[in-house]
Amino acid sequence: MRKAPPLPLMILLMAALFGSLLLSLTLGAVPLTLKELWFALTHRAADSPSSAILWELRLPRALLAVVVGGALGATGAAFQGLLRNPLADPYIVGVSSGAAVGAALATLLGIAGQWYGIGASVFAFMSGLGTLMLVMALARRNQQIQVSAFLLAGVAIGASLWAVITLLLLWSGEDLSRVLYWLMGGLLNADWRRLEWCLPPVLIGFLMLMSQSRALNLFTTGEETARHLGVPTERLKGWVLVGGSLMTAATVAVAGIIGFVGWMVPHLLRSLSGGDHRWLIPLSAIGGGIALLWADSIARTLARPTELPVGVITALIGTPFFVWMLRKTNG
């Protein structure tokens, strides 16, 4: 397949992101026309239903979808390059399982609503990063992080933590539905506070990934080759793993576990634009934002007045894509 020039592709994706954002703001239980949307955007203080719907419900939710989807897309692109595995996604290192345990514990202990309503997010974020530190410690040999050992440790720790989550679900009682919805991923509780809380770690993680994009290009040719070319491989691995996990923990903490976006979007854009991570990481961030915006729009409109978990939508879309890609690869 002929690769598309990265800059025109980025301009096209930015235009698609802007259009998707506007369209998502018009969709919902109470549809808004473009005229009503423009009035609500320019008259925030106006005492009107459309203004309240936009500023209190839809705009923070849409922006959080862009941030979460962008973080998953960028992390997936970096992890696929570092692990040299096209099936790698942001959850492969076990951070999502650690964050899930933290959120479930916060819910069961009754502190999910503390700290201005983000108690569960804080617990999830800290336990996710704690899981990362444990996996990195297990994968370290002779002061070096072994990528293969890191991958195996992440899978093993993640599986063990899912057993803990199952046990917590059995004890959850009246909180079962809340914990299950969070595990399936969703943006139902999106608000400005969660957006403000999530944005700093996502930006920091994104900058960490971009700072290693050139070195990541060399690393994909092989660790030994990259080391001979002057790449500080241990610093590269540390920055990519910590930066990506920082973003993943933040997104899981506010939106739960949303699968397939972090794997599917980078994989598709890599086939379109090539493997230069200086372009692939930001392209995947934009593409991830678009994908999650549409998935969330479908989740909150498909079964109105009820709402589907957005993780269900991404799984329904991602599974056929995975099967098609697998058949194409083997065929």
185: phi > 0 → left, psi -120 to 50 → alpha, else beta; which?
left
The residue that leads in pLDDT, 169 or 38, is 38
Asked if the 6-330 domain carries CATH number 1.10.3470.10, the reply is: yes
b/e map 244-258, b = 16+ CB within 10 Å: bbbbbbbbbbbbbbb
Maximum average pLDDT range among 24-33, 276-285, 300-309: 276-285
The ranges assigned to domains in the chain are 6-330
| Contact between 286 and 15 (Cβ < 8 Å) | no
Q: Answer positive or negative: Cα dihedral of 25, 180, 191, 304.
A: positive
What is the pLDDT at residue 9?
Answer: 93
What is the pLDDT at residue 330?
Answer: 61
Place of tokens 């440790």: 153
Maximum average pLDDT range among 36-45, 117-126, 277-286: 277-286
The whole-chain average pLDDT of the chain stands at 87
Task: Give the whole-angstrom CA distance, residue 134 versus residue 145.
Answer: 12
The residue that leads in pLDDT, 210 or 309, is 210
Reply yes or no on whether the pLDDT at 116 is more than 70: no
Reply yes or no on whether the pLDDT at 266 is more than 70: yes
Output the CA–CA distances (angstroms, integers) from residue 117 to 50, 70, 98, 258, in the order listed.
Answer: 25, 24, 20, 21
Over residues 34-50, mean pLDDT: 82
Cβ partners under 8 Å of residue 284, min gap 6: 73, 74, 76, 77, 265, 266, 269
What is the pLDDT at residue 221?
Answer: 86
